[in-house]
Amino acid sequence: MIDAVVFDLDGLLLDSEQVWDEVREQLTRERGGRWHGEATLDMMGMSSLEWSRYMHDRLGVPDSPEEINAEVVRRMLDRYREQLPLLPGATEAVERIAARWQLGLASSSNRELIEAALEAAGIDGLFQVTVSSEEVARGKPAPDVYLEAVRRLDVTPDRAAAVEDSHNGILSARAAGLRVIAVPNPHFPPRPEALAEADVVLGSLAELARDVVEAL
């Protein structure tokens, strides 16, 4: 039996992976760094501490990791204020699941971005807990952010389900011991070995119904 459902944010509820990509690439080039084709996938799922250090060490951005993090978050908030990249069916899916289960959110986004996005989408009140990977030791694919989410929800991992879109997110939830519902991101699809770890694979959030969770 499932007692709680934990959602991811970027790539699942928000079509934001491209926004992160644009903001970090622009900053890297502005500062004279060296952007490369693997940077996007390398940083997907990293905590803010991890990706800001990556941009400094691997991409050659001369600012300190703390300065990089602050500037990227500032630019992301500006983009969200201009237009929140909410995916079709995201609010409806959250509302359907919230009508039956307590909800958590386990995200690689910074705390400020999580709160701004959920408030702008009008669904902040539906989540009992939200966890940013900057609040735990390691980002995805490590299990830390999901383990903290279920701890705050006061449920055991085997009584919780995760809804994820990405390679590292699926692996993170599975490593934490949650059941995993995958809704693959079409722009950055998880590799087959990650999808094989999911209990259910859906084509879109429109397919995320109560019976899907109840069958886990």
pLDDT tens by residue, 39-93: 988 898 888 889 999 999 999 999 999 999 999 999 999 999 999 999 999 999 9
Predicted model pTM = 0.91
CB 189 within 8 Å of CB 44:
no
Domain ranges of the chain: 4-15+86-214, 17-82
Quick one: pLDDT band at residue 156, thresholds 50, 70, 90? Answer: very high
Q: Which residue has the higher pLDDT, 113 or 186?
A: 113
Q: Which CATH architecture has domain 17-82?
A: Orthogonal Bundle (1.10)
From the candidate CATH numbers 3.40.50.1000, 3.40.50.10070, 3.20.190.10, 3.40.50.720, the one assigned to the domain spanning 4-15+86-214:
3.40.50.1000
Q: Which amino acid is at 104?
A: G
pLDDT of residue 37 exceeding 90, the answer is: no
Each as own residue / partner, the long-range contacts of residues 111-117 (CB below 8 Å, 24 or more positions apart, any chain) are: 111/135, 112/73, 112/77, 113/73, 113/76, 113/77, 113/80, 114/9, 116/77, 116/80, 116/81, 117/9, 117/13, 117/14, 117/16, 117/80, 117/84
